[in-house]
Each structure stands twice: as structure tokens, then as C-alpha cells.
A and B are shown apart, each in its own frame.
Chain A
Amino acid sequence: MSGETPVLETPVLETRSLRKSFGALTVASDIDFRLSHGARHALIGPNGAGKTSFVNLVTGVLQASGGAILLEGADITQLAQSDRVKRGIARTFQITALFRGLTVLENVTLAVSERMGMAGDLHRPAGNRRAIIEESFQLLDDLGLADDALRPLKELAYGRQRLVEIAVALGLKPKVLLLDEPAAGVPSGESGIIIETIERLPSSLALLIIEHDMDLVFRLAKRITVLVQGAVLVEGTPKEIASDARVREVYLGERSHA
């Protein structure tokens, strides 16, 4: 919305007039959105604003009713979810969606072997794929999860499961990572580790963080888009958003004080 920043390069991810409706219910109405390379971008909005629907549209869980989604300038609107992942879009889930009965390491190897195109292999034992196992282990080590590698995921504390959630997505080596409420459900004492982990992610990776927790948003995001009733209300720097009257009115609930 704010036109001060001139756009010189193609954004890594872009949506043009993205629309989605279920009958009379519109969850996305003409969303124009640009995510630049290496972005630290947050998507905020009140409950039911259509944030998760936006993630589902971008990743291909939902098919758009209209408009276009572009990844590095290429139209991916019609691609299946798995093809979008191969092109470089990864996501995490608001409610941890992992392989609970498997070990932590195996959770990550599934993603890594899928990325390497080896997951369809019927012949060679998975255990012989040293490259996959070593890379997965390294990833866990980087996130401080090495000691948990061989434990079943369900035995981990929820905060650590949230880290595995990120590790699985990183195993896909994405260009764009959509983090859907990465600290949701984590006791406030533990959310620090998650924020630090996100801060340490490589700057080449473009991040879109969907979040309720304003502390987290203002700590991590360099840019914020506010979504209300499926439409972009305003976009700008954290400072601009914090001082925007409309945002205060709709999102921060200032209306009740007026």
C-alpha cells in the first residue's frame, strides 16, 4: 500500500488480485502482496482475517478463485501443492503437524529425501542414504536438537516440537518460508528460543510470519501487512503500522476506548 519503496527487483513471491471465496464467504479479496528477497515480513490481522487461508492459497492447499500467484515471476497458480514445494515454497503449521510416532531425525529425513527426489525409491534401504541422514542430523544440530534426534517426536516438549516444525521445513531448502504462528501454544518462557531460531535463519531465505503475538512481530519483522476480512488494510514498516490509526481501530481494538 505504501508506495514509498520503489520496487527494483522481481519479488520472490507475489500475489495479484488473489481471490478466494466459499459461496458467500470471501476469505481473500483481491490481495496484492509482494515478498522481496530475504524479507522478514509479517502478516497480521484479527481472528478470521484470512491469514491462514492466505497461506493455504499460496502453498496450494486451497485453489484460488481468481487472481495469480507468482514465484520469482513464474505463475504457479495452477500448480499442485507438491510442485510448489519443489519450486521453493515451504510452510510450518500453526498447530504442530508432524509425524508423532517417528523419531525427530526421521521427521526431518522425510523432508530431506523428498527434496532430493529420493523418496520414491523402492530399493535401496533408507538407512544407506548417508547424505540424507547427515544433512538431517546437521540441521537438527544447528537448531540445538541433536540430543533429541533419536527420540520419538511425541516425547518432546511442545516448545521443542515447534523447533522440529521449523527443521522439517528447512529440510526442504525453500526460497520462501511461511511460518504460521511459529510460537503458538508455547509457554512464554520458551518462546525466546523460537524467536532466536528464526532470527538466525539465513538472510537469503524470504520469511513470511503469520502471527498474533505482537512482541514477536515487532522483534522479527521489517515489514508488516495487515489483513482484515480477507483484504489488505495497510502495509508498511513496523513503525508505520504501530502508528496507523486504522490499524489501531481495527486490530488493536482502540475503537472500544474511543
Chain B
Amino acid sequence: MSKNGMTEKETAAASTIGEAAKEAASRRMALFAQRHRFRPVEALPWIAAVAAFFVFPAYLALGAQILATILYALSLDLVLGYAGIVTLGHAAFFGTGAYAAGLMAAHGMGEPFAGLAVAALAAAVVGLISGSVILRANGLPLLMQTLMVATMLYELANKANSVTGGADGLQGMVVKPVFGHFRFDLYGRVAYLYCLGVLFVGWFIVRRIVHSPFGRSLTGIRENEARMHAIGTPVFRRRLIAYGISAALAGVAGALVAQTTQFVAVDALGFERSGNILIMLLLGGIGRLYGGFIGVPLYMIAQDQFAEIDPVYWYFWIGLLLVLVVIFARGGALGVAARLLQRRGGRP
């Protein structure tokens, strides 16, 4: 023990220091390893969603649309917030899903879950095919190409009158009861719960992906693509897989809207559908998983209210809201909340 000229006391002291350091290290590792654990605050949106069902029985139809749109925002967050894929054409997948489910229901195959599955598949195929062409680009060139894909699909749906109903929209959908039992009612109660259930599953999947090694590598690609290449990441393949999954989820969101409204307008593929969801996610916070849960209701309720107060210029007020968020609340509502929490936690 006294080999290094240390007294017993010194050795003991050194080993305590060593142990303390080791303990600190393992505590640090544990902290790092627990980040995927479910935190109580994550239950909030679900409690709010269930509460809303009882508190606002008159608004359940709007509520169902909000829930479906949250799923759409979640799908966008996966590619934009995590993988850093900028897009102005996510409606391509929303609309593909809406038409897939719509066409099935209009042709006697109105089983809702089958509709969702086909919608997911169709949107994923569109995502993988278009992604394999456009995902080699980045930034502005990529943005323009996503816009182009969505525009092409929009024109295709617009022109294919005999199949999609063109500008008049797809009519004649007959959606069967959920689980063969719960018929979609006029008050939107079944629609609300149906959308809530599907959103929950979608959220579970995205949350799992985000915390998986795959999800972490997406974040790495967003942060520094060149370095990801240099550590041996097949960057293109990762991005393509993420894009396909996101497309499938957006397709499901589109299918939800189609099934619960029993109608598909060609707007489902339109530019506004791509742009608005970006704004909603921006309001809530990008790359935080819950941005859509805040931004979508905020936007849609604000839209509802502004339209009532100022039917002509309501879009102006939405724009003003966005400008204020960008100037004063960077990172959206969740960004502000995170900063406030940090400030409080940082106080001695």
C-alpha cells in the first residue's frame, strides 16, 4: 500500500475521492440514460384532451380536427425538428392518405382501420419514391423540390376528375362504424375519441423513434451532416427511412380528417395545408415532440375566434401572432417554457 510513499490515511482519502468521482460519473450516466423515461408532465396533453371531451361537448367536431392535425404536426416534427429535413410539401402525404381512405370508403371499403392502414401505406410509398429523388438535396433546393412534389400531386388530383372528383372534392364516402360498433355521430363524439386513440398510437411511435438510437442519429444529421458521414452513418438511408415514416403518419392524419368529415377536398394536397402546419409547429416549438400539441390547438382555436371577430381580415391577426412569436418567443411556446424553467432552475 505504501509503495508510492503514501500513508494509509492518504490512500484511504485517495480511494474515497476515487469512489466519489466514480459515483458522480455513474450518477451522470444514469441521468443521461433516463432521458427517454416518461415524465409526469407528458401526461398533461392527454389529461387535457380527455377533459376537453367532457367540458366542450359542443366543440367535439372541431376537437377531432385538432387531434388529427396534431398527428399531422407530429409527423412534420419528426422530419423537420429531428432530421432537419426542411419541407413545404408535407401536404403531399396528408392528401395522399386522405384520398386513399376516401376512395376506399367511396367504393364500399369503409372499415376505418383498414382505411388508415392503406392510407399509411400509400403515403409511405409516395414518401419513399419522392424522397429517394429529392432527399439528396438540402436547404432551399430541397424545400423547392418538396413544394414541387406536392404541387404535382395537387394538379394530378385536380385533373383526375373521374377518380377524385377534381375541384368538387370526393363525394359519397361511407365510413363504417369503428370496431364495427361505434357509428360516427353528428356531435363528433366517436370521431373525437377515434382521433384521440389514433393520435395516441402515433405519438407513442414517434416518441419511441425519437428516443431510439435511430432518432438520435437523425438529430446528429440535423446538427452536422458532414460529421455523420465521417462517423460512418448512411445518411441518405436514415433520412429516407425517417421521411417514409413521417409520410405514413401524415397519411394517417389525412385519412382521419377524410373519415371524420366524410369528404376529401383537393385542398388536402394544397399549399396552405403544407404551410399552415409549419406555422402551427412554429407556434408550439419545433423539435420538441409536443410542439404540435400546443401550436395546433392555439392556431385552430385562434383561427376560429379571429374568424368570428374579424371575418374579413382574420388572417392578418394570425400573421401578427406569428410575427410576435418569431420576435419575442423564439422556439415557440415550448421554447419559452423551457427558458423559464431553466432560469428558475439556474437560480442559487
Q: Please, which residues of chain A bring their CB within 8 A of the CB of B211?
A: 125-127
CB-nearest residue of chain A relative to B232? A85
A selection of 15 A-B contacts at a CB cut-off of 8 Å is A82-B229, A83-B232, A110-B228, A114-B233, A115-B232, A119-B214, A119-B216, A121-B213, A121-B214, A125-B208, A125-B211, A127-B211, A128-B36, A137-B29, A149-B32
On whether A99 and B227 interact (CB within 8 A), knowing A110-B216, A121-B212, A126-B215, the answer reads yes
Question: Is residue A53 contacting chain B, with contact meaning CB distance below 8 A?
Answer: no
A103-B32, A119-B213, A127-B36 as given contacts; A82 in contact with B232, CB under 8 Å: yes
Q: Is the interface of B mostly helix, strand, loop or mixed?
A: helix
Q: Is A141 in contact with B25, judged by CB distance below 8 angstroms? A: yes
Known: A99-B223, A133-B33. A59 touches B230 (CB 8 A): yes
Give Cα distance in the complex from A85 to B233, angstroms. 9
B-side residues, CB < 8 A to A, are: 21, 25, 28-29, 31-37, 208-209, 211-217, 219-220, 223-224, 226-235, 238
Contact B230 A90 (CB under 8 A): yes
Q: Are B31's CB and A150's CB within 8 A?
A: yes
A246 within 8 Å of B (CB atoms): no
User: A149 near B214 (CB under 8 angstroms)?
Assistant: no
Contact B214 A106 (CB under 8 A): no
Beyond A114-B232, A149-B28, A168-B231, 14 additional pairs, beta carbon < 8 A = A82-B232, A85-B232, A97-B230, A98-B224, A102-B223, A106-B32, A109-B216, A110-B231, A114-B217, A114-B231, A120-B238, A128-B36, A130-B33, A172-B231
Pair A123/B217 contact, Cβ less than 8 Å: no
Q: Could you tell me the distance between the alpha carbons of A93 and B229 in the complex, rounded to whole angstroms?
A: 12
Whether B29 and A61, one on each chain, are in contact in the complex, defined by CB atoms closer than 8 angstroms, is no
**Shortest CB–CB separation between residue B48 and chain A, in angstroms?**
26
Partner of A126, one of B21, B29, B37, B212: B212
Given A127-B34, A130-B33, A133-B33: A122 and B220 interface contact (C-beta under 8 Å): no
Segment 2-25 of A: residues with Cβ below 8 Å from B: none
With most chain A CB atoms within 10 A of its CB, the pick from B21, B234, B238 is B234
Contact B25 A137 (CB under 8 A): yes
Of A80, A97, A130, A132, which one neighbours B224 at CB under 8 angstroms?
A97
Chain B contacts for A101, CB-based, 8 A: 223
Q: Is the CB of A113 within 8 A of B213?
A: yes
CB neighbours (8 Å) of A82 from chain B are 229, 232-235
**What 8 pairs across the A-B complex have the smallest Cβ distances?**
A85-B232, A125-B36, A99-B223, A127-B33, A111-B231, A97-B227, A82-B232, A122-B214
